[in-house]
Amino acid sequence: MEKHENEFFVDSESLSPAALEKKHRLENDASSRISHMEYLPGMERINSDVMEKVVGAMKAYRPEVYTKRDVAAALGREVCGVDDFMALLSPAAEVYLEEMAERARRETAKHFGNTVYFFTPLYIANYCDNYCVYCGFNVYNKINRMKLEPCEIEREMKVIADSGMEEILILTGESRKMSSVEYIGEACRLARKYFRTVGLEIYPVNTEDYRYLRECGADYVTVFQETYDDEKYEKLHLAGAKRVWPYRFEAQERALMAGMRGVAFSALLGLSDFRRDALATGLHAYYLQRKYPHAEISLSCPRLRPIINNDKISPLDVGERQLCQIICAYRIFLPYAGITVSSRESASFRNGIAKIAATKVSAGVSTGVGDHESKYTGKESAACEGDEQFEINDTRSLGAMYRDIEGEGLQPVLNDYLYL
């Protein structure tokens, strides 16, 4: 089912006349936009063939040509190849979901045991310079904007750490002006006081910036490509540096070149053809794993969620069965990769998929800015609070999730990484 771009647009009633005019021009006049395939000044280019391989395979992929026989053959092979992965993502594989889940469960148990890792995200700013029509943070969405000062960041981190959490993911809106690399680096240094593992989900930067953030204490970098379909990407990302599709694609490789311990990959399922996006996500991880065998590779599996000023956003053609198929295909194709399922999904789905293929879940989640103190302790926060990027589905606390995961016969892990 095709989703039309205008279904993503947010209410514009509160914009100034000048801002409203610019927004409408970007939406209706393609000539007013920068090229989504040309690097902006200051954007680093790297010499890599990974993008060509991934895009070539994705554009050649025809999910409808695969048969039940192809799927059965893929499940029967000890090692899942690229063509097998394509078969497992095809519509023909939907009737094999139970067999895929059992194969995925065996692979997960073989490489990860019965453990499930916990982390929590911390949004430190929600200012953004991009116009991404489906995102709550987009520059034309009228929301409460907020940027935490270092003392406020540390207070939020202490509240999270006091709950028992040992891994944190630091996030910002994509505004280098409001959330500079130095500002993010300071947040990493503060995080090192409270957490064993520090992740980043920020705007893409050059290799030297990733190297600086690694020196400040960051361990891994997550980047959502959103969609690997560059033509659909162009229609959904109308302004800002994020509009440059190839620079975003190469972010993980620049992070690895800078010495990051690990990188994570994701498409936002429901923006475009989810089967092709899932294929491209898996191949992106696969080719970089072969090129950087020392790297810790992981995948996230988010679906679209409603945002402030637009509660109609939803992944129309990606139901829970389809999401389960994708996650199982990821596990079979990339048996050593971590797989994260976020609080965008329901508690029942996350409990179930953790027994099959997921290795990491978020807990005690907020996608707003500055509200962990109020949500975790019940006390009024000393800081103002910024609005959320999207609505979450699973609102369980760390304690509740810990008990539920144990109740599923799994072992919750807060951290197992030792610094020597």
The Cα 420–Cα 414 span in angstroms is 18
pLDDT at residue 383, rounded to an integer: 52
Q: Do residues 255 and 295 touch, judged by C-beta distance below 8 A?
A: no
Tokens 């395979």 locate to 57
Phi, psi of 66 (to 5 degrees): -80, 145
Mean pLDDT within 270-285: 96
380 band by pLDDT with thresholds 50, 70 and 90: low
Mean pLDDT within 324-337: 98
16 band by pLDDT with thresholds 50, 70 and 90: low
Mean pLDDT within 214-233: 97
Q: Do residues 37 and 246 touch, judged by C-beta distance below 8 A?
A: yes
Q: Do residues 33 and 50 touch, judged by C-beta distance below 8 A?
A: no
Residue 13, Cβ neighbours under 10 Å: how many?
7
pLDDT at residue 305, rounded to an integer: 74
Q: What structural domains and CATH numbers belong to the chain?
A: 5-50+93-413 (3.20.20.70)
Mean pLDDT within 71-99: 98
Examine the pLDDT at 372 and tell me if it is beyond 80. Answer: no
Q: Do residues 134 and 267 touch, judged by C-beta distance below 8 A?
A: no
